[in-house]
Amino acid sequence: MGMEKYNNVDGNPSEYLYPPEILKRLNFDKSPATFKPKISAASPGEDWMVVRPLQRSDFDKGFLQLLGQLTSVGNVTRKQFDERFTSMKQSGGYYVTVIEDTRISKLIGAATLTIEQKFIHNCSVRGRLEDVVVNDTYRGKQLGKLIVVTVSLLAQELGCYKMSLDCKDKLIKFYETLGYKLEPGNSNAMNMRFEEPS
């Protein structure tokens, strides 16, 4: 089932955050992850599932509610969502990828790849994996693995020299099965949090 089938909603084009054609080029044989049965972004395992870039219309498909299963989202209005979508698309470097259950027009999985431009490594780019979430009711369909591998291969396709992520200790084994490694002497994620602006 092709992604191009889902670029129209109610007959109107729905704007993608990034070109969906990129996902068709991903070679899942490059990933150390094992899928049983074999699935990919182009063939996610069910004919009612589609893996694609975030669309502007996904405000109405439960994107923010899905993120709410991961962390606090706040009361984001449609106007705020549209403004952030426009800002992310114009600035480039944001690849929010989602899985949709087309039977009910709801998003059931998501992950974000952000691209950081560097001077090091010959002015290369580094990828960061953020905001990985799969709807609780869809567990057991390899969707967590599918969305992470999709975004990781996307980073490789876009020329990243490295992909980084922060995760809880209990998820280290999961990410190791997908090819991620703890770096000796650099295995701690440290953050500085700021108060949210009022």
Q: Residue 47, SS3?
A: coil
Helix (H) or strand (E) holding 111: strand 106-117
From CA 58, how far away is CA 70, in angstroms rounded? 17
Collect contacts of 115-119 with beta carbons under 8 A, ≥24 apart: 115/155, 115/158, 115/160, 117/93
Residue with tokens 């395992």: 45
pTM summary value: 0.90
Averaged pLDDT score across all residues of the chain: 91
The confidence score (pLDDT) of residue 164 equals 94
The per-residue pLDDT for range 95-135, each reduced to its tens digit, is: 999 999 999 999 999 999 999 999 999 999 999 999 999 99
The confidence score (pLDDT) of residue 196 equals 73
Return the CATH fold of 3-177.
Answer: Aminopeptidase (3.40.630)
From CA 98, how far away is CA 64, in angstroms rounded? 12
